[in-house]
Amino acid sequence: MKVNFGGNPVELEGRVLHLGDKLENFSGVKNDLSTFNLSDLKGRKLILAVPSLDTPVCDFEVRRFNEEATKISDVSVVVVSMDLPFAQARWCGAAGVENVLTVSDFRERDFAQKSGTYLSGIGLLARALFLLDEENRVTYLEYVDEVTAHPNYNAALEAARS
- Known catalytic residues? 58
Contacts of 58 (CB under 8 A, 6+ apart): 50, 51, 52, 81, 127
CB 107 within 8 A of CB 118: no
CA atoms within 13 Å, Cβ hemisphere of 14? 24
